Copies of this chain bind each other. A is one copy, B any other.
Amino acid sequence: MYKVYGMSISGNCYKVRLLLEQLEEHYEWHEINLLKGETLTPAFLAMNPAGQVPILEIGPKKYLVESNAILCYLAEGTPYLTDNPYLRAQTLSWLFWEQYSHERYIAVARFIKHILPAGNDRLAEIPVLHEGGYRALDIIEQHLSKNDYFVTNTYSIADISLYAYTHCAAEGGFELGKYESVKAWMQRIESQPGFREL
């Protein structure tokens, strides 16, 4: 049985849990609180030297890290990841883009405003994070104005990955009001079989 080492409030960890539920896989959840330094213990760093959650344990001492890599591993051979080479590559493109151009702004703004203590020093980063985050929201709005889902017009791990932090962007101070296509897409995600909230 899979074990997941994750922090429940983290969108990156939620991605893994959502897909496991939708695949009806059994798993054990091990709660890790990074605010208490639990990702920096020797035992944790032996699993992931980068000190990050989530980690998926697939067997004795066999660990996978990086949320989007875990999604690809779990989705292989399922309807959540196409085996068409061009469309697989498009899926990966969105996954890489999510980490580099979306999560790094939208998730980090949420972490600072919603998870760190009120009045923390990192609030000074918010204007730059909002600038990058709105740029990312504009790009997904443009794509979703012409497509129901990110790849192949079918729900896939690209949607799971991008939903994880888009749906809670307001907790990072983002206004989603004008993003009509994004809001309609989120409703489509939330009506998928096996959907669970963060």
- Residue-by-residue, is A47-68 near B (CB-CB < 8 Å gives 1, otherwise 0)? 0011000000010001011111
**Cβ of A103: which chain B residues have Cβ within 8 Å of it?**
100
Residue of B nearest to A140 (CB): B49
- Knowing A86-B58, A89-B72, the reply to whether A96 touches B66 (Cβ < 8 A) is yes
The count of chain A contact residues (Cβ–Cβ below 8 Å) is: 32
Using known A-B contacts A49-B142, A139-B50, A143-B49, determine if residue A100 contacts B89 with beta carbons closer than 8 Å.
Answer: no
Report how far A61 CA is from B93 CA in the complex, Å: 16
Determine whether the beta carbon of B68 is less than 8 Å from that of A92: yes
Residues of B within 8 A of A69 (CB): 89-90, 92-93, 95-96
Q: List 8 additional A-B contacts (Cβ < 8 Å) besides A62-B86, A70-B89, A96-B96.
A: A49-B139, A64-B89, A69-B92, A69-B93, A73-B86, A73-B92, A95-B96, A100-B104
